[in-house]
Structure 1
Amino acid sequence: MPGMPTSVDLELACRSSRSRFVTVNGLALHFLEWGDPERPVLCFLHGGSAHAHWFDLVAGRFVDRFHVVSLDQRGHGESQWAFPPAYATENFVSDLVELMDAERWDRMTVVGHSMGGHNAMALASWHPDRVRALVVQRGRRPMRLHPSKDAATAAFRLRPRDTVADPALLRHLGEMAVTERETGWAYRFDPEANGARKPADAWTYVHRITAPTLLTRAELSRNLPRDQIERLRQLIPNTRVAEIAGAYHHVTLDRPREFASVLDDFLTSL
């Protein structure tokens, strides 16, 4: 597809990132980082069942101005699973605050997709002094084991499945999503992170958000209707709305360059 990122873009994104672990709330959390740690922090938060590499094709756009971080939230990617399961919004937000304290990040700009957007809004509502700016992109199964890495990668699917993402990008995400368990290959997320997740009711607290906010909506997605975007816009002061044309729910996969451009415009205007 013309204008879509290439496998070279993916390779460069992975090669330029640094992989780190920090223990917070008793869990080893993994994150990728790019750029100068002395610059302001720009933190990306993936959605449910996803991982930090969801933003590989977006992060590089901002390394000249920000210390870019993409977190594997608890129970996802290479981060540790919570046992017993603890996946309430309060748990995710506590991890973010503890991570910021451990890394001595006073404030950061937070970009969250789906579940990550929900957690980002809660952080901005409950800890407004820690969020410089907010960007929101607006979903119990037993673990399925596969006989090989290739089989697990081949079975990888987005949820919801609608997408126009480059197949090379989807293969890359599938490869980054799988790991070997004792009895086979499986995906890098705790099934309980979905089944036991206890999302807080965002409508009761989003009015507390004080950070400049960008709400992005995927044109083709059914996950965030326009009436809900309008309701959020009315509740959150200093809010802008942008629609990403030709994208389904997974905006950063379907239209990474367009999303990065919209994000760049927003951050430049602050």
Structure 2
Amino acid sequence: MIQPTRSTYSSQTLSLNAWHWGDPANPPLLLVHGGLDHARSWDWIARELAADWHVVAPDLRGHGDSDWASSSGYPMMNFVYDLGEIVRQLGWDRFTLIGHSLGGNIALRYAGLFPDRIERLVSIEGLGPSPDMLAKRVEKGIENRLRDWFDDVRTASGRSHRAYGSVADAEARMRAANAHLSEDQVRHLTEHGLRQQSDGEGEGGWRWKFDPMIRAWCPLDITQDEIHGLWGKIACPTWLAYGGKSWASNPAEDGRDAYFSNAHVTLYEDAGHWLHHDAFDAFMSDLRAFIE
């Protein structure tokens, strides 16, 4: 079984982790994972592509084996900046970019900012909340959203992850939260998503690697119109993939695909939010056809 090699890169004083598959002389391809996830979630796809591509998958700040952001925080554009930094430090001029969920959102913003850098772009459920969800958020008012954020930050600052007594206990939690995963996927995602720690009182335990502060999502960001403007500046062929059993809204039905100049949408009827796990064979076949 192909195993990746590990490297680190720096961004805004943080040391961030990345995993590499394949020959660096091959065409470059970057994989960006979603929120509360980690880079080793891409292993199945990376192994399939490693013979033909130099595949790199970073752990986002606050995730996996990357540093937590104690000062610079988790605003969306900080993630986009981190993506720009790994690309700059790798010395890539043009590359293929694939992102899932939060990673898809990051990828779309980067591709709109630097359209000449991207050969092909895949965003797996990466357009963010649906238009209906956004409308309800706006109705709530910025003052209420900011007050809620104050509460979320206070709560997240005072908590740590639940400690699991064993990896098997954490696997049970992963299995319950993601009904479409196979047992192999549950084991792999859990193994690479955990860190063994002491609570300071001599009691050990297994805890998720991601920073609990990720859950305190700041409501301040560029506007939705500005986001749509970035989508419209993406120049490369773009593929938007969605799961029929996911919470996410299909952009071919809610109208968001109209903001792109060169995009198509694929719906995987029996897949959930992690459709690249749930419909792996079909997704890989479509992915190869699109990027190659």
Per-residue CA deviations over 1:190-238 (Å, capped at 9, x if unaligned) read 111231455643334211111210111112223123555x633221111
Question: TM-score w.r.t. structure 1 length?
Answer: 0.85
Whole-angstrom distance in 2 between the partners of 1:194 and 1:107: 33
User: 1:146: which partner in 2?
Assistant: 163
User: 1:118: which partner in 2?
Assistant: 105
Confirm or deny: 8 A CA contact 2:124 2:240 kept in the other structure. yes
Confirm or deny: 8 A CA contact 1:149 1:179 kept in the other structure. no
User: 1:213: which partner in 2?
Assistant: 238
Give % identity. 30
User: 1:222: which partner in 2?
Assistant: 247
Whole-angstrom distance in 1 between the partners of 2:266 and 2:164: 43
Highest RCO, 1 vs 2 (Cα 8 Å, sep ≥ 6): 1
Whole-angstrom distance in 1 between the partners of 2:288 and 2:99: 15
Per-residue CA deviations over 1:155-205 (Å, capped at 9, x if unaligned) read 53379x354221221121111111023414211111112314556433342
Question: Could you tell me how far 1:106 is from its partner in structure 2?
Answer: 1.3
User: 1:248: which partner in 2?
Assistant: 272
User: 1:107: which partner in 2?
Assistant: 94
Matched, 1:191 2:178: no
Q: Secondary structure at the match of 1:205?
A: helix
Aligned length: 253
Whole-angstrom distance in 2 between the partners of 1:113 and 1:94: 17
Whole-angstrom distance in 1 between the partners of 2:47 and 2:166: 28
Confirm or deny: 8 A CA contact 2:32 2:98 kept in the other structure. yes
Choose the corresponding residue for 1:165, options 165, 168, 181.
181
Question: TM-score w.r.t. structure 2 length?
Answer: 0.79
Q: Secondary structure at the match of 2:267?
A: strand
Instruction: State the AA in 1 paired with 2:61.
Output: R
Instruction: State the AA in 1 paired with 2:247.
Output: R
Choose the corresponding residue for 2:81, options 89, 94, 98.
94
Whole-angstrom distance in 2 between the partners of 1:162 and 1:17: 25
Gaps of 5+ in 2: 129-151, 200-204
User: 1:24: which partner in 2?
Assistant: 11
Whole-angstrom distance in 2 between the partners of 1:115 and 1:247: 18
Choose the corresponding residue for 2:51, options 40, 44, 64.
64
User: 1:7: which partner in 2?
Assistant: none
Gaps of 5+ in 1: 1-11
**Which is worse superposed, 161-170 or 114-123?**
161-170
Choose the corresponding residue for 1:36, options 5, 12, 23.
23
Confirm or deny: 8 A CA contact 2:34 2:102 kept in the other structure. yes
Confirm or deny: 8 A CA contact 2:40 2:192 kept in the other structure. yes
Per-residue CA deviations over 1:13-61 (Å, capped at 9, x if unaligned) read xx42112212222111111111111222111111110001111111122
User: 1:9: which partner in 2?
Assistant: none
Question: Could you tell me how far 1:153 is from its partner in structure 2?
Answer: 2.4
Matched, 1:263 2:287: yes
Q: Aligned pair in 2 of structure 1 residues 144, 155: CA closer, same or farther (>3 Å)?
A: farther
Structure 1 residue ranges (4+ consecutive) displaced by more than 3 angstroms after TM superposition: 139-142, 196-201
Q: Aligned pair in 2 of structure 1 residues 115, 32: CA closer, same or farther (>3 Å)?
A: same
User: 1:232: which partner in 2?
Assistant: 256
| Structure number with bigger Rg | 2
Choose the corresponding residue for 1:83, options 70, 75, 84.
70
Confirm or deny: 8 A CA contact 2:242 2:248 kept in the other structure. no
Q: Aligned pair in 2 of structure 1 residues 52, 167: CA closer, same or farther (>3 Å)?
A: same
Q: Aligned pair in 2 of structure 1 residues 116, 158: CA closer, same or farther (>3 Å)?
A: farther
Compute the RMSD of aligned alpha carbons: 2.2
Choose the corresponding residue for 1:52, options 39, 47, 72.
39
Q: Secondary structure at the match of 2:20?
A: strand
